[in-house]
Amino acid sequence: MNLPSNQQNKLIMELSEKDSSGLKITPLGGLGEIGLNMMLFEYGDDIIIVDCGLMFPEPFMLGIDLVIPDISCLAGRTASIKGIFLTHGHEDHIGALPYILRDIQPPVYGTALTIGFVREKLKEFDLDNSVELVCVKPREVVEAGCFSIEFIRVAHSIVDGCAFAITSPEGTVIHTGDFKIDQTPVDGELTDLATFARYGEKGVLALLSDSTNVEREGYTLSERLVGEAFEAIFPKCPQRIIVAAFSSNIHRVQQVIDAAVICGRKVLLNGRSMLANVQIARELGYIRIPDDTLIDIKELPRIPRDKVCMITTGSQGEPMSALSRIAMDDHKQIRLEAGDTVILSSRFIPGNEKTISDLINHLYRRGAEVFHENVSEVHVSGHASREELKLILNLVKPQWFLPVHGEYRHLVKHAQLAELVGIPKERCIIMTNGDVVAFSEGEACTLEKVEYGRIFVDGKGVGDVGRVVLKDRKHLSEDGMVVVIIGIEQSTGRIIYGPDIVSRGFVFEDESREFLEQAKMIVLERLEQLNIEVMGEWTEVKQEVRAVMKRFFKKTIERRPVILPVILEM
């Protein structure tokens, strides 16, 4: 693929014959999708993991709460894992840790805020005392087996983001994590271009770079512009202000607080994650809140509406969020009135557009004025656009380029961008989840895939819901369910009760009695044709009931409900 066939075959044979040779990079999630970021680096018997993220369920994943990576390929090798290294504290990079750390417990490395978020998350699972959490500062180097990992400061939509320079006996790999090049960051912490350039001068084997915004021309706007937008909007708001943002975006929260203080407004934090994350950030010194600025929700009725600013979660229109309940006039303590202002200070995540549009409509019905990214600069991206991506490519000057973090089209576009700045096409490798890209003596090839996949979390169940269950849920949601209850005397095979038919999501029983009576007669006629031996086998009876009901419903109403026969032994 990347070498002449004879060289590639030789390299694959060498690496396959001696599994411990060469550097191997394997993504278990995060490629060809948004979220679920997790990547393995292996050399000899040493393994390190970069990020351990989750993904929120897609529309077809009915009833699923979270999705986490499948780490089956690590079975029997957990003792070789030298550490988990976290680029930053977003859920798509740390959210799977409480589930993964039940099975493996290597040390976890990250910057201060990232570790603070992880520690709080692990407390909920009683894992905070059993996992070693190590706080690392930018430009510090961690030794993990044969690997040396230097943390490199990058700007992003969260405090304390880092890229990694991962050095192994085969050479150095730069992993950018999520980043942008913000020349005027809120906290003054710039992306450390000097360190990227330093490694570029020394020589970099491979660059793995964030592809999320590769389709955007130019440069990503500075986070500071959002603060300027707040300062322009707030003085014009006659009543209460509600700002919805991601709780992890500490810079955004800081700028809301700054704008509120300038206008003489008190600040109410709403939402469990918002309260927890701001508390962690305050303890670590990442956010500054003047004394007497924060108020409790119980104080709200006593403060004039034009002196209040609320910061809440729920910017994606989540049905049970505080903002959605406020928009539906269903919140016990907070009500919107004419003249109130709501600011949705986050991007519209793909797939949530309809939900957010409905939320905005409900807010307007309450009399509020609404600002969002399509009408005002109340949100900027945390990911690098094309010119920033070019700059990193030119500074690092890698021998090989592997685009990461994005849907498949983003990876392809990023590889094409790398070609524009001089990296040969044959040295751009587009990985997919499960691929094993191996490096040996400066050359690379793709080995056979490892086992990978998605584990569904539903309530307290982890991995007990698979694709068959999801298919059944989809079937139920589309066509409903029919339960057929039959009482059979086991000794004679005689039907002494039913069939009784109960339906849910199929037809309205009160208006379809004649239709359901006809279905009962069809079932009875079929069962009367069966001999006593068959009637004594409940499995056979259930199959016959399903078959006759399926044919009847398809012929009469052209629907395919889930049919559940229930046999009562009498």
43, 29 contact by CB (below 8 A): no
> 111-141 burial, b for 16+ CB within 10 Å, e for fewer?
bbbbbbbbbebbeeeebeeebebebbebeee
Strand-pair partners of 144 = 147
Q: Is residue 61 within 8 Å of 67, Cβ to Cβ?
A: yes
- The torsion angles phi and psi of 191, rounded to 5 degrees, stand at -60, 130
Neighbours of 387 (CB within 10 A): 13
Residues 6 or more apart in contact with residue 522 via CB below 8 angstroms? 548, 549, 552
CA-nearest of 108, 116, 159 to 134 is: 108
In terms of Cβ atoms closer than 10 Å to its own Cβ (0-12, 13-18, 19+), residue 145 is middle
Distance from C-alpha of 73 to C-alpha of 430, rounded to nearest angstrom = 21
Pairing relationship of beta strands 147-153 and 162-168 according to DSSP bridges: antiparallel
Q: Compute φ and ψ for 490, nearest 5 degrees.
A: -65, -40
Backbone angles phi, psi at 67, to 5 degrees: -125, 135
- What burial letters (b/e) apply to 499-522, b meaning 16+ CB within 10 Å? bebebeebbeeeebeebbeebeeb
Q: Is residue 414 annotated as a catalytic residue, yes or no?
A: no
Q: Give the H or E element holding residue 477.
A: helix 467-479
Q: Looking at 156, 362, 383, 405, which residue is catalytic?
A: 383
What are the b/e assignments for 430-439, b being 16+ CB within 10 Å?
Answer: bbebbbbbbb
Contact (CB, 8 A) for 160 and 114: yes
From the list 160, 192, 210, 435, the catalytic residue is 210
Gap between the Cα atoms of 60 and 63, Å rounded: 9
**Do 45 and 74 form a contact (C-beta atoms < 8 A)?**
no
482 - beta bridge partners? Answer: 503, 563
Within 8 A by CB and 6+ apart from 156, the residues are 88, 177, 178, 179, 180, 382, 383
Active site residue 210: yes
Q: Are 497 and 486 in contact (CB under 8 A)?
A: yes
Residue numbers annotated as active site: 210, 383
